[in-house]
Structure 1
Amino acid sequence: MSDKRNYSDPDYYNNRELSWIDFNDRVLEESRDKGNPLLERLKFLGITQSNLDEFFMVRVASLAKLAAVNYPKPDASGMTAEEQLRAVNKRAHDMLIKQYTTLNRSLIPAIQQIGVHLKKAPNLSAEQFQFIKSYFHDELYPVLTPMADDSSRPFPFIANDTLNLAIQLTPSDGSGRLYATLQIPDVFPRVVRLPGEENAFILIEEIIKTFVGQLFVNYNVKESVVFRVIRDMDLDVAEEDTSDLLKDVQQQLKLREHGNVIRLEVENTISKKLLKLLNKELNTPDFAVYETNGPVDLTFLSKLTSQIINHDDLKYAGFTAYQPTALDHNHDIFAAIREHDWLMQHPYDKFDPVVEFIRQAAIDPDTLAIKMTLYRVSGDSPIIRYLGRAAQNGKQVTVLVEVKARFDEQNNVHWAKQLEKMGCHVIYGLIGLKTHCKLSLVVRREQGGIRRYMHMGTGNYNDVTAHFYTDMGLFTVNNDMGIDATNIFNMLSGYSKPPYFHQLHISPDGIREFIYDKLSQASAAAKEGANVIVRMKMNSLSDQKMIEHLYRASHCGVHIELIIRGICCLKTGIPEISDNITVHSIVGRFLEHSRIYSFDIDGQKTVYLSSADLMTRNLNRRVELLFPILQPDLANRVLQIFDTMWHDNVKTRVLRADGTYTHIDRRGLVPLESQSAFAKAATERVKRDQAEAAKAAPTEFQPMLSPENQPNPLNYDDGSESD
């Protein structure tokens, strides 16, 4: 009997943008959670602001463009662009109230109790007032540029994400009203430490507001309020010819600074007259105006916490990340990978072996080629340095740099040019597709012939974010995967289209079709009475066709466990549609970023990691990678990691049938916070290794060899002095 259900019914789907706001609300909950260290709660509140800023620059900007042309097609949940735009802004207004209530009623009083004060000018001591007066005259005054707004001088351009003052003036004779703006320069720190107290601070805009009248001689300042605009910052690159892509991206970076205003934030002390003027000049609809009950732009809270001294007890406790000895600086990493595959779980496992993999390849005489994809790298990336060194050492180095990685375009354009200068072959990917897969391939000539060593990951080759994003990676020398990896790079750099892949699955199309097939197999087995469990972990689930397949599998009796940090357009608890699906979301100390896909049919388990979320863009418009974990002990470890997260009852929220996320009722349960458990386990592994090393250490004193006689596992100079 055929399945007649309409799995695409709009009632079965959450709106993507509203689901994202639900996610940011879960981050906001962390700032309100008294179980978190106080200074970390301040950081969480700042994160909700930076999250919202990016969301408005890209997603809300896209909705505004669609609404402007009356785009008629509704999304999966049945909402038009105009309906989404208004609903998102309404929810964002509610969030704004919650943000500032959290700041003013909870966090500010709490930090005052521990002697941390964020002051305003009237509350300063005589010493502190003299300090800000000198700071204004000596530091700020020469840099500030007031901009008049009158018939001869039109309203100035207000740059995206800059703090500005809107000022209302009267001439000293009292005749008429005049207006001006003043950009608060971002070359100075926003949070300024005050003398006389250990942890007293003032915001730079408070200093400027106090003395702003000195910029307008013979005028009286009637009003000065802080405002900020968020503009449409989505990059629109036409890719007809990738040879011009670098120039096209650079040109678009300049153009997007002048995108339409999507959001106007202003202090709620603003007069109606001044707000009306700003609205008119910036062409902002009323629903996009946000009046704040406190400082505009809460991202300053992260800077504040970094300056507070003598309160490390109010931050997260440190832990020691683990690194296997075989993968460290003093051992041959290629020998270690030949022994067996290695699974990394960052940040609980150090990111250093990934960097070491490229470093050793760069100086290894047997290495012939290094091929690598780079999506986001840090501002001072050691991987970039080692790739350059490899090219200078005569290796064939091919690097795909994704210059369209959102908000990292400038950084990636810079690194692309640097790599080319160092002698690397740099490619920019396929027309119309972002290359989001995380893949490194080292080709070596060995006694048995050519051998390919690989690292594949769920996260970026970024040594900075690896400390606070949870990701997973695999080192392997599997021959089939190596052939697949070679074919992927040939596809990215040339015109090759491999007819099939042995072990790896590639988007566009390949990952979608693979997961469809696995879900179809699972459904067929469940209908035959098999016990079938599908476990998936990802950042976001929004692809309608994929959700339809999950609903179909659930209807057939497949038990589906999903850990989804952010967007989830799937609804749970729909009778005979999703009543076998459970969704958890974990928001905690680290940003959950790894992707796991596993299928268990009557105990026959297959486990995969991926760079891809189940979003339409990842499955259709990006080059993504999904790879199997073939070594049984490592596959079991991935499943244990998933299991630990699944049973987290501290930071987990469960998606209910009414669309809300609620914490697990812990009554009678032993508290389990998965991220803390992983951090504790890593520290214990380090201590255990240190204890074993101490036991194995020689008891007699041994003379130290001179540097030139020190054994080198790879038997060549590593050139580390130049780092």
Structure 2
Amino acid sequence: MVDFKQPKYYVNREISWLAFNDRVLEEARDTANPLFERANFLAITQKNMDEWFMVRVASLQQQVMLGHDKVDAAGLTPKQQLDDVSAIAGQQIRDQYQVLTRSLLPALKREGLTLLKPEQLSKTQHNFLKHFFEQEILPVLTPMAVDSTRPFPFLANDTLNIGVRLKKSGEKSEKYLAFLQVPETFTRVIALPEEQQAILLEDAVQMFLAALFPGYTIKESMVFHILRDMELDVADDEDTPNILQEVQSKLQERERGRIIRVILSSTASKAFTAKLVKLLHVDEQRVYAVNGPIDLTFLNVWLKNNVNAQLKFLPFKGFNNPDLAPSRIFESIRAKDYLLHHPYDSFQSVLSFIQTAAQDDQVLAIKMTLYRVSGKSPIIKALGLAAQRGKQVTVLVEIKARFDEENNVHWARELEKQGVHVVYGLRGLKTHAKVTLIVRREEGDIRRYIHLGTGNYNDVTANFYTDLGLLTSDAELGADVASIFNILTGYSDPGYFHQLHMSPDGIREFIYEQIDREIANAKAGKPAGIKMKFNSLSDERMVKHLYAASHAGVPIHLIVRGITILKVGISDVSETISVHSIVGRFLEHSRIYSFENDGNPKVYLSSADLMTRNLDRRVELLFPLKDDKLRDKVLEIFETMWQDNVKTRVLQADGQYEKKDRRGVARLNAQETFIEAAVRQTDQELKQQKLTEMTQRFEPLNNPFTNENEEEKS
């Protein structure tokens, strides 16, 4: 009997995450991508890594400080993990700057976009910058000395700062230190008088630092960026009388978390660096010196307003199904189910579903879960309007959604002001499910309309996250969703659901059952197979079940964007498991769970990844596609992605990811294929609309039932 728990069969989840971020970095290297998009991919790797440090590395550091020594699935203690990932992250940071300095900046310069250093400025540019500094920047700057009466200042999370070492006139000592934050009230990139030339704000500040320290000589200055531990430790138990106030309180505390990473300029002296490390109380292994601009997200600021469309992906609009137009959306959903594949299908259909309900006099109630929404959410506006029109509107706002806590607290308050019933979920659990229920009176009966999705109700990210959604009026699903909201808002334990499966516990057990059925079918010689697509696989128990299925000979195809702690190609353990990862123009976010089921495939969509937190500590939903056409459509989507040979990386037995060998094979970029299909659908619909308009215009001339007198007159 194979012991599937052996550490040699697993990869550490943090190391796997770093491998994912390296795949994003590959897109920044890929010259087949438009230049501005390559720069954007590089900025994304910075943002990804920042969040990873603030949460995952911070968590490991906390475990080390508390003396925890429990090993992970791969057999590593928190201390071993921290040491390993700090080193790997350091190499990835060096790789980021190699891409920036050797590839992107020279390529941008060839396009006429130049980022200048102070010594490269013309006299005109220098004078312009001096005037701008004196009139705009200088009044905002606050130098903070460090001495016996003025302690080291508080430096906020995710800020750029400048450290200054000074010598007082007439003294030999260079002991004086001061710090100042690079102001966030200005754009990070300053446009210079000469066309398409710019300079970084921190470089401009350093040029004229002397104006802040009259009577002192500046011996050295350096720019550095800090990150703090941003884990939100919210007490969510019976002793917490008001979870909203608790979150608001913890948000303030979080801003003063322990410093978890420092990136500074490689030009800084060793002595000054050592002094800074001591003042910040940060571990030396998480201090990284770089040769280039610190905080690579400046690229987005610099290139955002450049109008050279040839250097970006070609824009496209998702298909807006006319069946889901406001005038007939409920009629259409009553007739059949609709599958939405965003962004190839426009998110406007989801917005129309909610906006139409808000204004429809026959709609009695709207219930919804919100995990992440945009800063100017039209959904929030529609829900407020619905409440003002007298409808029963209930919204679960997850105020513990990581890095969206403040935004969600704001929207919760706004919704309450507009008369919406707002709840914050179940004690001890985050609500990550994506579901909307609309209750409508129709000809004396009550009908439920439902939207279930794999992604957030965010009209902005819906343009570049791929997700799947279902619009349906199925009675059993409607009853299940109604039960879900009764659980979330009141006290209810329905005992069972007709079609839905709910975490915690329910999704895990259901997937186990499906895997076990595939194992039994494989052993009986029946058709068996598992196809899944999700963002991350880090639950050890789920991996053990997949290993057991592979051991039984079940073919397993996994499309996993990010973390994968399993290994492939292990004899008698994972020989039948293949793992693909697609990193491209859009962030792959949809979750698909498909089982061969003896030749009659079952297909499910879900808000949940196969991570312990999703399966055990969150409210998640998994739902079936009951319509055969929609089921086959999702299987077709999966197969197209599986055949992708442009943006797919295939996990190898040694843990590395390699692109497919395309020799002698036609090029297939799945995301481009879906875009082309959406464009064709839109074109066909426009042609149909024009044809309908022409038919309506000339209809009287072709009407066989024209009045006989009219015929005689003609």
- Mapped partners of 1:98, 1:320: distance in 2: 35
Equivalent residue letter for 1:146: P
Equivalent residue letter for 1:190: R
- Is the counterpart of residue 574 in structure 1 residue 557 in structure 2? no
Provide the residue aligned with 1:61 in structure 2: 58
- Mapped partners of 1:81, 1:449: distance in 2: 58
- Mapped partners of 2:298, 2:635: distance in 1: 39
Provide the residue aligned with 1:33 in structure 2: 30
Cα deviations by residue, 1:331-372 (Å, 9 ceiling, x for unpaired) = 221101001000000011100111111111111111111000
Partner of residue 454 from structure 1, selected from 417, 427, 450 = 450
SS in 1 for 2:409: helix
Provide the residue aligned with 2:289 in structure 1: 291
Provide the residue aligned with 2:189 in structure 1: 191
Partner of residue 170 from structure 1, selected from 159, 167, 171 = 167
Cα deviations by residue, 1:594-641 (Å, 9 ceiling, x for unpaired) = 000001133211110000000000000000000001111111110110
- Is the counterpart of residue 425 in structure 1 residue 421 in structure 2? yes
- Mapped partners of 1:486, 1:602: distance in 2: 33
Per mean C-alpha deviation after superposition, the further-off stretch among 451-460 and 363-372 is 363-372
1:11/1:77 contact within 8 Å kept? yes
- Mapped partners of 1:92, 1:655: distance in 2: 20
- Mapped partners of 1:355, 1:563: distance in 2: 29
Equivalent residue letter for 2:297: T
Provide the residue aligned with 1:508 in structure 2: 504
SS in 2 for 1:601: coil
- Is the counterpart of residue 634 in structure 1 residue 626 in structure 2? no
Question: Gaps spanning 5+ residues in structure 1: where?
Answer: 703-723
Provide the residue aligned with 1:531 in structure 2: 527
Provide the residue aligned with 1:158 in structure 2: 155
Equivalent residue letter for 2:559: I
Provide the residue aligned with 1:258 in structure 2: 256
Provide the residue aligned with 2:380 in structure 1: 384
- Mapped partners of 2:304, 2:358: distance in 1: 37
1:273 is displaced (CA, Å) by 1.4
SS in 1 for 2:435: strand
Provide the residue aligned with 1:127 in structure 2: 124
1:610/1:626 contact within 8 Å kept? yes
Provide the residue aligned with 1:719 in structure 2: none
- Is the counterpart of residue 84 in structure 1 residue 81 in structure 2? yes
- Mapped partners of 1:301, 1:222: distance in 2: 30
Equivalent residue letter for 1:62: S
- Mapped partners of 1:421, 1:448: distance in 2: 32
1:175 is displaced (CA, Å) by 2.6
Partner of residue 42 from structure 1, selected from 39, 44, 48 = 39
SS in 2 for 1:154: coil
> RMSD across aligned C-alpha pairs, in angstroms?
1.2
- Is the counterpart of residue 245 in structure 1 residue 260 in structure 2? no
- Is the counterpart of residue 360 in structure 1 residue 359 in structure 2? no
SS in 1 for 2:208: helix
1:229/1:265 contact within 8 Å kept? yes
1:191/1:300 contact within 8 Å kept? yes
1:116/1:308 contact within 8 Å kept? no
- Is the counterpart of residue 624 in structure 1 residue 654 in structure 2? no
- Mapped partners of 2:364, 2:528: distance in 1: 45
1:12/1:571 contact within 8 Å kept? yes
Partner of residue 677 from structure 1, selected from 655, 673, 678 = 673
Provide the residue aligned with 2:704 in structure 1: none
* CA gap 1:700/1:432 in 2 versus in 1, 3 angstroms: closer
- Mapped partners of 2:425, 2:359: distance in 1: 27
- Mapped partners of 2:438, 2:136: distance in 1: 52
Equivalent residue letter for 2:688: E
- Mapped partners of 2:694, 2:82: distance in 1: 69
Equivalent residue letter for 1:163: L
- Mapped partners of 1:131, 1:328: distance in 2: 53
Equivalent residue letter for 1:272: K
1:505/1:625 contact within 8 Å kept? yes
Equivalent residue letter for 2:149: S
Partner of residue 542 from structure 2, selected from 526, 540, 546 = 546
1:429 is displaced (CA, Å) by 0.3
SS in 2 for 1:439: strand
Q: How do residues 316-331 of structure 1 correspond to structure 2 at under 5 angstroms?
A: 316-329=313-326, 331=327
Equivalent residue letter for 2:451: H
1:174 is displaced (CA, Å) by 3.8
Cα deviations by residue, 1:468-492 (Å, 9 ceiling, x for unpaired) = 1000100000000000001000001
* CA gap 1:697/1:243 in 2 versus in 1, 3 angstroms: farther
Equivalent residue letter for 2:299: L
- Is the counterpart of residue 467 in structure 1 residue 460 in structure 2? no
SS in 1 for 2:139: coil
SS in 1 for 2:145: strand
Provide the residue aligned with 2:134 in structure 1: 137
Provide the residue aligned with 2:701 in structure 1: none
- Mapped partners of 1:132, 1:654: distance in 2: 50
- Mapped partners of 1:14, 1:115: distance in 2: 44
- Is the counterpart of residue 660 in structure 1 residue 624 in structure 2? no
SS in 2 for 1:515: helix
1:243 is displaced (CA, Å) by 4.6
1:536/1:598 contact within 8 Å kept? yes
- Is the counterpart of residue 179 in structure 1 residue 171 in structure 2? no
Q: How do residues 198-213 of structure 1 correspond to structure 2 at under 5 angstroms?
A: 199-213=196-210
Equivalent residue letter for 2:129: I
SS in 2 for 1:456: strand
- Mapped partners of 1:474, 1:485: distance in 2: 13
Cα deviations by residue, 1:211-261 (Å, 9 ceiling, x for unpaired) = 011100011111111001111000000012465100000000000111111
* CA gap 1:182/1:577 in 2 versus in 1, 3 angstroms: same
Partner of residue 485 from structure 1, selected from 476, 481, 497 = 481
- Mapped partners of 1:516, 1:196: distance in 2: 64
Provide the residue aligned with 2:312 in structure 1: 315
1:698 is displaced (CA, Å) by 2.8
Moved over 6 A (4+): none
Question: Gaps spanning 5+ residues in structure 2: where?
Answer: 699-714
- Is the counterpart of residue 332 in structure 1 residue 328 in structure 2? yes
1:468/1:591 contact within 8 Å kept? yes
1:319/1:680 contact within 8 Å kept? no
1:366/1:444 contact within 8 Å kept? yes
1:307 is displaced (CA, Å) by 2.9
1:531 is displaced (CA, Å) by 2.1
SS in 1 for 2:516: helix
Per mean C-alpha deviation after superposition, the further-off stretch among 545-554 and 117-126 is 117-126
TM-score by length of 1: 0.95
Provide the residue aligned with 2:143 in structure 1: 146
1:701 is displaced (CA, Å) by 5.9
- Mapped partners of 1:316, 1:363: distance in 2: 37
Provide the residue aligned with 2:709 in structure 1: none
- Mapped partners of 1:243, 1:418: distance in 2: 21
1:457 is displaced (CA, Å) by 0.3
Provide the residue aligned with 2:707 in structure 1: none
Equivalent residue letter for 2:337: D
SS in 1 for 2:449: strand
1:699 is displaced (CA, Å) by 5.8
Equivalent residue letter for 2:19: D
Provide the residue aligned with 1:712 in structure 2: none
Partner of residue 394 from structure 2, selected from 390, 393, 398 = 398
1:700 is displaced (CA, Å) by 7.4
Q: How do residues 333-348 of structure 1 correspond to structure 2 at under 5 angstroms?
A: 333-348=329-344
1:308 is displaced (CA, Å) by 2.6
- Mapped partners of 1:196, 1:584: distance in 2: 47
SS in 2 for 1:180: strand
SS in 2 for 1:532: coil
Per mean C-alpha deviation after superposition, the further-off stretch among 512-521 and 693-702 is 693-702
Counting aligned pairs with the same residue, the percent is 54
1:302 is displaced (CA, Å) by 1.3
